[in-house]
Amino acid sequence: MTEPPRPPGAGDPGNYPPEPPTAPLSGAPGPGSYPPPGGYPPPTGDQPPSGGYPPAGGYPPPGGYPPPGGGYPTGAYGGPGGFANNEDKTWALVAHFGGAVGMIVSGGVLGWIAPLVAMLARGSQSPTVRAHAVAALNFQLIWSIVGLVGWVLTCILIGFIGVGAAVILGLVFGIIAGIKANEGQLYRYPLSANFIK
């Protein structure tokens, strides 16, 4: 097997290709000379550090770092995920999911108990829990009244529609509100009134 021919100066130790000229042929330094007359200008900060590696802390994000004390959004009420602590999150979930479970267990009449308990137990200490509990309480009160009227009207058979609507809507919207509360958002119930402020 034979080796292919090499270009002139390639691979021979000590025989390197010629250096580019450092000045124009006229002898005077010019814009194309290498290196530039007077050396290179100092770095401006946008070049990578020597060696081609990023700085120890990494490069800043595009647009720079956010100002101290502000910047990245946290949640609907501040804090990670919108809650100051896990206890607030638990009580918000009790208000929403408890209302949904209460509607099923009581046949569409007592869904308001869990949001009321959450509001009384933790609402005075946490405005976040109070907001979630009040939203759930207002919704569950409306549909508990519809459920109660439906039970009263069952003697003429049309009341089953009201009871069914109260149970189904209380369950569906209670679960949706609980999922939103778990994400740190306050859910605005449809078909609700503001009895409690």
The reported pLDDT for the residue numbered 72 is: 41
pTM given for the model: 0.50
The reported pLDDT for the residue numbered 14 is: 56
How far apart are the C-alpha atoms of 136 and 143, rounded to whole Å?
11
Over residues 164-176, mean pLDDT: 89
The reported pLDDT for the residue numbered 113 is: 92
Would you say residue 52 lies in a domain? no
Is the confidence at residue 73, as pLDDT, over 60?
no
Q: Is-contact 177 96, C-beta < 8 A?
A: yes
How far apart are the C-alpha atoms of 105 and 51, rounded to whole Å?
69
Would you say residue 75 lies in a domain? no
How far apart are the C-alpha atoms of 104 and 45, rounded to whole Å?
65
Is the confidence at residue 177, as pLDDT, over 80?
yes
Would you say residue 44 lies in a domain? no
**Torsion on CA atoms 111, 125, 78, 193, rounded to nearest 10:** 30
Would you say residue 116 lies in a domain? yes
Percent of the chain with pLDDT over 90: 25
Q: Model confidence at 71, in pLDDT bands (50, 70, 90)? A: very low
Would you say residue 45 lies in a domain? no
Is the confidence at residue 53, as pLDDT, over 90?
no
Would you say residue 142 lies in a domain? yes
**Torsion on CA atoms 80, 86, 88, 94, rounded to nearest 10:** 120
Would you say residue 29 lies in a domain? no
> Into how many domains does the chain fold?
1
Which residues span the domain enclosing 158? 86-182
- Total residue length of the chain: 197
Would you say residue 189 lies in a domain? no
